Amino acid sequence: MSLRNADFTMQRAAVAAAARRLAADGLVIGTAGNVSCRQGDLVAVTATGLALADAAPEHVTLIDLNGTIVDGDWQPTSEVELHLGVYHDSDAAAVVHTHSPNAIALSLVRDELPCIHYQQLLLGGAIRVAPFAAFGTTELASSVREALRDKSAAIMANHGAVAVGPTLDAAIANVHLVEWASGIYLTAAAAGSPRALEPEQQQSVLAATLRRGYGSTVTLSE
């Protein structure tokens, strides 16, 4: 292995660990779902046909931004075009795709997950549902890339969810947030018509966040 590829030992281990974590959290089942992270012009991505619960570093393939295999014994995920498209479109450093149950259920009845909680502002507000297309197709990759425009997550109709982030941990947190908000929406919809936050309400939250430094860790001096 070249020195350039050896530098990805930690990334491969991190991608494998993220895949196992998603499986343990119930966001993927069997071979459904995939994970990648980017550093420079190389991407570490889970292999096709891999049971994510059993992912190990050797199941993570190293490719360039054109999809050419640089190192590894496995073919990359069938959704590799989606991952590479995100990296071409944005400065994201990680992409996770899950088959999250609540997100799938919501995609069967909605074309969008409205902004029902201010935490969704971390994802860009309302979450688009990309139209259904067969897995691994250019059509699916294209529609998901469009759904991700100005967002950190999207839902795939009759399929699952995808989230991006500056780190693997951030991308995983984002896909968890999609699943949580989808579950809240479905629970509320069973009782009535969920009320989404109005644009001015969303703006008031953003203003309060800036004013109060919400989400920042503060160290108390002695």
Residues catalogued as catalytic: 79
Distance of CA 13 to the CA centre of its chain: 18
The Cα 157–Cα 140 span in angstroms is 10
Note whether 153 and 163 are within 8 A (CB): yes
Phi, psi of 164 (to 5 degrees): -125, 165
- Rounded to 5°, angle at Cα 69 from 67 and 75: 90
The Cα 155–Cα 179 span in angstroms is 10
